[in-house]
Amino acid sequence: MARTDAMVLGAGIVGTSIALHLAKRGMSVALVDKRGPGEETSYGNAGVLEGNTLLPHPFPAGIAAFLEVVLGQTAAVNYHIGDLPHTLPWILDYRRNSTFENRKKFAAAMRPLFARAVPEHEALMQEANATRYLRKEGWIKVYRNAQDFDDIQHELDLAREYGLDFRTLDTDETRALEPSLEPVFKRAIHWPGAATVSNPLAVTRAYAARFSALGGVVVTGDALSLHRNGKTWRVDTHEGALDAEVAVVALGPWAPDLLKRFDIDLPLGIKRGYHRHFKPQGNKTLTRAVVDTENGYCMAPMEQGLRITTGAEFADRDAAPTPVQFDRLLPKANELLPLGPQVDEPTWLGRRPCFADSRPVIDRAPGQDGLWLAFGHAHWGLTLGPATGRLLGEMMTGATPFCDPKPYSALRFN
C-alpha cells in the first residue's frame, strides 16, 4: 500500500499537466490511468494550441443549415440518428448556447485561460525538453466563399476589441505562407497567436517524463475503484492500493462514469471526431495546420504524416465508429491539397468531452471533501491542459489563482 499527497485520475494532457504542476509545487503525486499517458483523446487531435480562441463553435443556425446537417449532406457534422433520444437534450442545450450573446459570454469567461495557453505549454516544454515539437507559426482558416468570410466580420470586430492578432489574406497571400495549397478558396485568416505541435502524444509523454523526474509516479489502475478509506481516497492499482489526501478527476470523456458513483451528475456531452494520416504527394506539404471552414476538417502536418481530423459527430460515446465524414471531405481535401496514399492504420476515433456552454469544469467536487474536478475541455483540451494544470495547482495549494475560476465552476449547471 502506497500513500501520496495527491492522486490524479486520468493521464491525458489535462491530468498529466495537473500532476506535473502539483509535483512542481512540492506535493507527492501519483498519476493513475488504465493506459499510458496521452494515449486516448490527447493522442489523436489536430495538435493546435488555439491560444487565439475567442468564440466557441456554434450549432448551425438557420433552417437550411440545420436540414443540411440532419440530412447528412455536410462533411463538418455527422449524426447517429438512433442515438438522438440520448443525445438530443444536450444538443438542444448546446444550440441554446450558440446565440452570439451567449458565445460572447464564453469569450469573456475563457479568454484568461486561452491567453495563457501557449506560454504555459512553452514553459512546460522547456523544462520537459520538448520544444522540438512546438511550431509557433500560427494556423490558417480558409474560406472558399467570400460570403462565408463576410458573415464573420462581427466576430473579427470582437477579436479586434479583445486585441487579438490576426491577418486577413487573399488567395495569393495565403499561398505565400503555404505554397502547396491550391487556389480553391477566396479568403483566409492567419492567426499567429496560435501554435501547433508535431506530435501531441509525444508532448504528453514528455510532460509525464518530467513529472516522473520530479519524483511523481505513473501507475496503472482503474479509476472506477476510487472510494473513501477513512480520511483518504483509495484507488486500486496494479501495484496495490494507493491512498491520497486529495484526488483529481481528469478522466475527460469518462469522468461521468466515476462521478455518478458519488451522485455527482454534470451534463457532459460528447462530440466525436476522427483522424487519418496521409503521406505527402511529392513535396506538397504544410508548415502549420489549415482548416477548411466550409467543410469542417483540419489538415495538420504531423510526424506520422498529414493528419486530417474531422468535425463533430453526435453519437453515443461508445457507439461503433462510423467515419463517413471522410467520404464527404476527402474530395474537398484533395482539391485544397492533393494527398498522397493513406497511411495503413485504422481510422482513429476520439471523443471531445464538452459541456453545452463549451467551458470546462475546474473546481472542487460538490459535496465531496478532497475531490477535485478538471474535465470537459471540448475542442481545446490540448490547448488548455497546462493552463488548467497551473490554475488547479494554484487552487489546490491555496495560492492566488492566475485567473478567476468561477466561470469553470461545477455548480453553474444548478
Ligand X SMILES: Cc1cc2nc3c(=O)[nH]c(=O)nc-3n(C[C@H](O)[C@H](O)[C@H](O)COP(=O)(O)OP(=O)(O)OC[C@H]3O[C@@H](n4cnc5c(N)ncnc54)[C@H](O)[C@@H]3O)c2cc1C
Task: Write out the residues near ligand X by the rule CB under 6 A.
Answer: 10-15, 33-35, 39-42, 45-48, 50, 222-224, 250-254, 273, 275, 309, 350, 352-353, 375, 377-383
Query: Nearer to ligand X by C-beta: 388 or 398?
Result: 388
Instruction: Specify the pairing of strand 29-33 against strand 217-220.
Output: parallel
Query: Nearer to ligand X by C-beta: 4 or 383?
Result: 383
Measured from the CB of residue 326, what is the shortest distance to ligand X in angstroms?
12
Evaluate whether 46 touches 52 at the Cβ level (below 8 Å): no
Look at residues 299, 304, 361 and name the one whose alpha carbon lies nearest to residue 336: 299
Measured from the CB of residue 112, what is the shortest distance to ligand X in angstroms?
16
Measured distance CA(107)–CA(111) in Å, rounded: 6
Based on DSSP, count helices (H) and strands (E) in the chain, helices before strands: 12, 22
Measured distance CA(27)–CA(139) in Å, rounded: 37
Measured from the CB of residue 376, what is the shortest distance to ligand X in angstroms?
8
Query: Nearer to ligand X by C-beta: 46 or 403?
Result: 46
Query: In this structure, what C-alpha cell is assigned to residue 235?
Result: 484507488
Evaluate whether 15 touches 249 at the Cβ level (below 8 Å): no
Query: In this structure, what C-alpha cell is assigned to residue 209?
Result: 517524463
Look at residues 285, 270, 274, 265 and name the one whose alpha carbon lies nearest to residue 198: 285
Query: Nearer to ligand X by C-beta: 101 or 327?
Result: 327
Measured distance CA(35)–CA(14) in Å, rounded: 15
Query: Nearer to ligand X by C-beta: 34 or 364?
Result: 34
Measured from the CB of residue 317, what is the shortest distance to ligand X in angstroms?
11
Measured from the CB of residue 352, what is the shortest distance to ligand X in angstroms?
5
Query: Nearer to ligand X by C-beta: 34 or 171?
Result: 34
- Under DSSP, the state recorded for 360 is P
Measured from the CB of residue 44, what is the shortest distance to ligand X in angstroms?
6
Measured from the CB of residue 348, what is the shortest distance to ligand X in angstroms?
8
Measured distance CA(123)–CA(303) in Å, rounded: 22
The C-alpha angle with vertex 115 and arms to 136 and 210, in degrees rounded to 5, equals 65
HSE, CB side, 13 Å, CA atoms: give it for residue 8: 33
Query: Nearer to ligand X by C-beta: 133 or 375?
Result: 375
